[in-house]
Amino acid sequence: MPRTLHLALHPYGVGGPGQHGLWKDPRVAKNSSIDIDYYIRLAQAAEHALFDALFIVDSQFINATYPAHYLNRLEPLTLLSAVATHTRHIGLVGTASSTYNSPFNLARRFASLDHISGGRAGWNVVTSFDTGTSKNFGLDEHLDYTTRYGRALEFVQVARGLWDSYEDDAFPADVARGVFLDPAKLHALDHVGEHFKVAGPLNLSRSPQGQPVIFQAGVSEEGRDLAAQVAEGIYAPGGTLEQAQEYYADIKRRTAAYGRDPEHIKIFIHGGPVVASTDEKARLREREIFDEDNDFDRNLALLGRSFGAYDFSVHDLDAPFPDVAHLAEKGGRTGAAQLIERARKENMTLRQVAEAVNQFRQSPFVGAPDTVADTIERWFRADTLDGINLAFRTEEELEYFVDGVVPILQKRGLFRTEYASDTLRGNLGLPVPANRHTREPQLVDD
């Protein structure tokens, strides 16, 4: 079958990183990040446009400098369970930390969402780079990189084992024979590993898609390797076309090296399209958005997230970039290391680093509908992505993309004209995982 594009929607609410001024927009309700009706409307609009998934990000630490959406937002699985009852086809992907959760509880919660939605759940596995999170869970120190990623791999393995607790025909529910459960089809896990000891079994059967779809956002070496081992969907950093090509090829190569089919891992890049009636108007609006959000104090605080929510305001802005390398190991190590290296090579001040990180960068997905569709097609055919995780500032901008760009993509045969399946796996073209206790593998649903 020919490759087709996948689209996901990532709601902003009142504005996350890089959208500090969004909450001031009169079109944005000031309570949208905690308004379930807002998420239901967006999910239904995305489903009407045949999107693959609604994607909800999360973190479990804040301070007063964090973006507006982070300060006051709903817990992802609770949110998605509510959305599930108002939608039928769109996938529901929630972010949850493998560092600050237990496998049994999280496996049960995602399996519950999978049943509530009829097989549309996905789990975005994160290891949490906000170092302050540790203190919300009774720990004095945040775990280091190696430990966090080792724990993440084992966590996913345990969750998948728990999701296989019941074989698909474990419940005959035969009234005549008085048999509800076939006990031979129930399996304890009895896992004992480096990070977890979990007996099982899970008290919930498999859903129509077998198991929730595993997503991951791997950037570092450890992250890319984890993604290649366990991910079925990836949220990739994007960047230039050449950078996206390198990342795409690297992940597909690593996936094959682990004996997996590279087609069974779908790479989504972030996209924040700005669509207008003409290219010129769209570019003008893109610059206006940057100016609306470009607040130096907020940008300085955002820089601190990569270094464990470090407060850079205590330093002289015009002095050389401070020595904070020791803070990066337990935070966002890859990005932080790149910043430190650039500051060293270019002899940059703290002010220059903060400005460089937040300087205006043109997005490739900006222009009239035909222009945006042309760019998406070019990137898709250049093997930079399997899908785009789309973020729109307002509901009106989502509607404009859906009405203007999606029909062009459909006309060119790049995007579906109807859903292929009722499950997230089916729409992504992913196989249903065979239950480890069942001999015959299952086929992907049509």
The CA distance from 357 to 368, in Å, is 28
Q: Which of 392, 422, 423, 425 is nearest to 406 (CA)?
A: 392
| Phi, psi dihedrals of residue 34, rounded to the nearest 5° | -120, 15
Q: How far is CA 198 from CA 32, 141, 201, in A?
A: 39, 24, 9
Query: Does the pLDDT at position 131 exceed 50?
Result: yes
Q: Which of 215, 57, 224, 237 is nearest to 125 (CA)?
A: 215
Count of Cβ atoms closer than 10 Å to residue 370 Cβ: 12
Query: For residue 166, what is the DSSP state?
Result: B
Domains and CATH numbers, the chain: 6-279+365-428 (3.20.20.30), 295-357 (no CATH)
Query: Does the pLDDT at position 182 exceed 50?
Result: yes
- Kindly state the average pLDDT of the residues 105-129: 96
For residue range 395-409, what is the model confidence (pLDDT) as tens digits?
999 999 999 999 999
Asked if 365 and 271 touch (Cβ cutoff 8 Å), the reply is yes
**Cα dihedral: 33, 36, 42, 48 (round 10):** 170
pLDDT band at 145 (very low <50, low <70, confident <90, very high): confident
Asked if 125 and 116 touch (Cβ cutoff 8 Å), the reply is no
Helix then strand count (H, E) for the chain reads 16, 12
Q: Which of 179, 172, 176, 198 is nearest to 187 (CA)?
A: 198
> Does the global pTM surpass 0.85?
yes
Run of H or E residues at 96: strand 91-97
The CA distance from 370 to 279, in Å, is 9
- Cα distance from N-terminal residue to C-terminal residue, the chain: 13
| Phi, psi dihedrals of residue 12, rounded to the nearest 5° | -95, -25
The amino acid at 179: V
The amino acid at 352: Q
Q: Which of 210, 216, 259, 187 is nearest to 93 (CA)?
A: 216
Write out the two tokens for 312.
Answer: 């850079």
For residue range 259-268, what is the model confidence (pLDDT) as tens digits?
999 999 999 9
The CA distance from 441 to 181, in Å, is 22
For residue range 313-349, what is the model confidence (pLDDT) as tens digits?
999 999 999 988 877 665 566 677 888 888 888 999 9
| Mean pLDDT rounded to a whole number for the chain | 92
Write out the two tokens for 234.
Answer: 């990836």
| Phi, psi dihedrals of residue 147, rounded to the nearest 5° | -65, -40
Asked if 66 and 15 touch (Cβ cutoff 8 Å), the reply is no
Query: For residue 179, what is the DSSP state?
Result: B
Annotated binding site for FMN: 58, 95, 149, 220
pLDDT band at 440 (very low <50, low <70, confident <90, very high): low
Annotated binding site: 58, 95, 149, 220
